[in-house]
A and B are shown apart, each in its own frame.
Chain A
Amino acid sequence: MSGIEILQIWIIAFFTLALFSFLYKDNPFYRLAENIFAGLTTGYQVSLIWDTVIIQKLWDPMMGGQWWMFLPGLLGLMMFSRFSPKLSWMSRVPLAVVMGITAGIFLTTQLHGFVLPQMQATMSTFVNAEGFAEFFLAALIAVGVISTMIYFYFSHEHVGVLGVTAKLGIWFIMISFGAHFGYTVMGRVSLLIGRTQFLIEDWIGTFSYIF
């Protein structure tokens, strides 16, 4: 193992331990690592956007003859008018372009790409079920979809049939959230195992080269 590799491992180990030190309490080492992390992440975004958006999507097409691409560039620069109280209204125009395009895409794709296919999938599973087990699972899914949607329906008070269905919906939702929670915990624990492995195997492994 070369000196540079050992140095790299020690730098990573220092910042890993500095970030973990917050589990005890807030301290200067954690604050240092936290601010370096925030700065590096921001700097990473700057380089990424500059290369993939400003150069590849704006500058190169403009230089390649698509002169009209100065328009989105101008709209993008108008976003910076937010720093001036007098001119900040100008940032509404690029914001309106973003909102308009997003709304236009969402209006059709949400219905066509999510609502109808999900409804169709729920019904087709129910209709195509073979045997009691499949029929039961399809019925469970259908009841779950309807009761979940009713739980989130707030235009009427949840009383009577609506109340009972909403109550069933919250039970379904709790099972789903429990499952998601279990998955999330396991994902985070997996990352923790990864960092612990690094400290035990890689970092402590360098001790034999140094001491």
Chain B
Amino acid sequence: MRTTLPLAVAFITGLVFVITFFLNEESPLVGGVSKQLLDWLIIIGGFTLLLGVVSILRVSWQSVERRKEDWIYKLITILSVLVMAIPGLLPESWSSLFGRQEGTIYDWLFLNLQAPMMATMFATLAFYIASAAYRAFRARTAEATILLVTATLVMLWRVPMGEAFLNLFSEEIPGLINTYIMGGVNLAVQRGIIIGAALGAAAMSLRIILGIERTYMGKS
């Protein structure tokens, strides 16, 4: 029961979509069932994300309750979740500050705190990328040298000053980078990776539908 039921469910739901692909997707029965199942996928996915939120709150609250090290920061996390979530959950009819539309608390917090902080977090990565590049780009092997030269050329090509610098050597260099590096080698590698990953994903999907792959169910 604990193993057979999930396997049967995965087999049936998977099979529905395989059958849908071969039959007329616009027919009321086949198309209707697959559309319903897609909605189910979104709903269960939503609950799964909420499970993650509950888990974060639970772990943070345990730290606060037991006064563990840095518990004050866990309390700040919990308060921040509540401050952002509650005004967004309350009905718009209660106040113009509630809900998710423009001019609400939720909107203000998103525009003035969450979005700028996210941009800052990603901007901080520029320094770490530079630090990683210093270590990775030391041209000790042929492969590292190729990586170094290509990255330098692309970085120069992407900014007007760099492009002007490349033009000093030959005006054809920016065009050649665009054609042969981005539209040639890069395109070829992306295609190779996409084909390989897609074949792997299809094989894994077949294993899941047939019940060979069971690791998603966890232990025992």
Contacts and interface: CB of A to CB of B under 8 A. Distances in A.
A23 B127 contact: yes
The 5 closest A-B pairs by CB, nearest first: A39-B80, A144-B188, A43-B84, A47-B88, A104-B17
B89 A46 contact: yes
A171 B143 CA distance: 6
A143 interface: yes
A100 interface: yes
7 contacts: A15-B116, A75-B44, A97-B44, A110-B205, A113-B198, A140-B188, A186-B158
A92 B2 contact: yes
A43 B198 contact: no
Main secondary structure of the interface of A (DSSP, over half): helix
A12 B76 CA distance: 18
Interface in A62-97: 69, 71-73, 75-77, 79-80, 82-83, 88-89, 92-97
B196 A149 contact: yes
A179 B39 contact: no
- In this complex, the member of B21, B51, B185 whose beta carbon has the largest number of chain A beta carbons within 10 angstroms is B185
Contact of B50 (A19, A49, A103, A114): A49
A41 B151 contact: no
Interface residues of A, number: 114
A40 B151 contact: no
B114 A137 contact: no
Given A37-B118, A54-B46, A111 B198 contact: yes
Interface string A24-44: 000000011111111111111
A181 B5 contact: no
A38 B184 contact: no
Contact of A174 (B79, B112, B143, B206): B143
Contacts of A77: 47
Nearest to B1: A89
A133 to B, nearest CB: 8
A25 B218 CA distance: 39
A188 B121 CA distance: 10
A149 B54 contact: no
Interface in B63-114: 70, 73-74, 76-85, 88-89, 100, 106, 109-110, 112-114
Contacts of A124: none
A131 interface: no
Contacts of A101: 13-14, 16-17, 37-38, 40-41
A186 to B, nearest CB: 5
B147 A97 contact: no
A188 B123 contact: yes
A16 to B, nearest CB: 5
A115 B203 CA distance: 12
A184 B187 CA distance: 17
A188 B84 contact: no
B101 to A, nearest CB: 10
A208 B117 CA distance: 25
Given A140-B188, A182-B150, A43 B82 contact: yes
